Amino acid sequence: MKKFALIGAAGYIAPRHMKAIKDTGNNLLAAYDKGDSVGIIDSYFPDADFFVEFERFDRHIEKLKYDKDVFLDYVSICSPNYLHDAHIRFALRSGADAICEKPLVLNPWNIDKLKKVEENTGKKVYNILQLRVHPSIIALREKVAQAKKDTKFEVDLTYLTSRGHWYQTSWKGDVSKSGGIATNIGVHFYDMLSWIFGDVQENIVHVHEKDRAAGYLEFDNARVRWFLSINSEYLPKEVKEKGQTTFRSITINGEELEFSGGFTDLHTMVYKDILDGKGYGLEAARTAIEIVHEIRTTTPKGIQGSYHNMLRNT
């Protein structure tokens, strides 16, 4: 049984990490979040110690180590994006491996610095790249691998996930903290695309606003038009009529990729791979971080060239 701590226990994604820790037969010893709406812990690890001050959490981890000879194996990190880098460093320097939510970091150079911390501590950083274990995505990757080397697939990616007014007030609405919409809700899709279709050849941004972003990515084996939004106005009519708030679609050469289901247990699958020594480390995250960093720092070109259909009426 491995011993875990968790940072960011009150966040949206934290319960999936708690479930993964429990489902893999391990134990959560301590958790931290500056917010205290963490009753969900009772469903998984009611005996875990909880802290709302990082200093007390840090001291507790040290006391476990030096007073009780209890050493953490992993620290799971679900904190706001801009804190990932610091919390990863804390995990490694505490003698534990880090398991971090996406995006691993906000900037490519953060990866280089973390590699040095890995070398100095002998500990590892793992990233939650959950789409890489989705059966439909694995099948698509195998299909692309079997195609001719110079094949270019035509891909359209749409991800709409409605968010209320709270979003812009929270850290997620602050580009310096979240990285912006493409980083916050799109990074795992860019990772998926690069994992399937190869190296990036071109990255063009058409639109980049606080509630939507769109652009064109060309990979070794694909031309991708992408559109992301947190604005419910873009949801298809049939989706709204069903009372749903999220819509995701990927078409490859005009054919829809079915991957609407199968998301519930992906974190547990990722944890199993990490525990089996097959997790994705720092370098696996690099391409997606480079993509979102370029999107964030590039001046949008406007609606021109090869662009997503969702931009036609805007």
**Three-class DSSP category at 141:** helix
Distances in Å between the Cα of 236 and the Cα atoms of 126, 208, 226, 313 are 36, 21, 16, 14
**Residue 51 dihedral angles phi and psi, to the nearest 5°:** -135, 145
Q: At the topology level of CATH, where does 3-127 sit?
A: Rossmann fold (3.40.50)
> What is the reported pLDDT for 149?
87
The residues that bridge with 215 in the sheet, in sequence order, are 205, 226
Nearest to 28 by CA among 96, 118, 89, 122: 96
Q: How high is the pLDDT of residue 313? A: 74
Residue 312: its pLDDT value, please?
A: 87
- Give yes or no for a contact between 239 and 164, defined as CB atoms under 8 angstroms apart: no
Which residues, other chains included, contact 304 with Cβ-Cβ below 8 Å and sequence gap of 6+? 206
- For residues 131 and 300, what is the distance between their CA atoms, to the nearest angstrom? 28
CA 297 to chain centre: 20
The answer to whether 229 touches 314, Cβ cutoff 8 Å, is no
- Cβ contact 71:98 at 8 Å: no
The class that CATH gives domain 131-262+282-311 is alpha beta
Per DSSP (E only), the strands in 91-181 are 97-100, 125-127, 153-161
Is the confidence at residue 112, as pLDDT, over 70? yes
> The tokens of 160 are what?
């709409």
Query: Which pLDDT belongs to residue 260?
Result: 66
Q: pLDDT higher for 312 or 22?
A: 22
Are 212 and 231 contacting, i.e. CB atoms less than 8 angstroms apart?
yes
pLDDT of residue 258: 75
Mean pLDDT value of segment 179-199? 97
User: What are the tens digits of pLDDT across the range 131-171?
Assistant: 999 999 999 999 999 998 889 999 999 999 999 999 999 99
Two tokens, residue 119: 């070398």
pLDDT in tens, 17-71: 999 999 999 999 999 999 999 999 999 999 999 999 999 999 999 999 999 999 9
Does the pTM surpass 0.85? The reply is: yes
Residue 189: pLDDT above 90? yes
pLDDT of residue 276: 96
- Rounded Cα distance between 55 and 60, Å, is 9
Q: How many angstroms separate the Cα of 125 from the Cα of each of 62, 204, 248, 269?
A: 20, 30, 29, 17
The C-alpha atoms of residue 226 and residue 94 are separated, in whole angstroms, by: 40
Domains 3-127 and 131-262+282-311 belong to one CATH topology = no
Domain ranges of the chain: 3-127, 131-262+282-311
pLDDT tens across 213-247, in order?
999 999 999 999 999 999 999 999 999 999 999 99
- Residues 270-295, mean pLDDT to the nearest whole number: 97
pLDDT tens digit sequence for 256-276: 987 766 667 899 999 999 999
pLDDT at 185: 95
Which residues neighbour 80 within 8 Å (Cβ) at sequence distance 6 or greater?
Answer: 8, 11, 171, 172, 177, 178
Per-residue confidence (pLDDT) for residue 262, from 0 to 100: 65
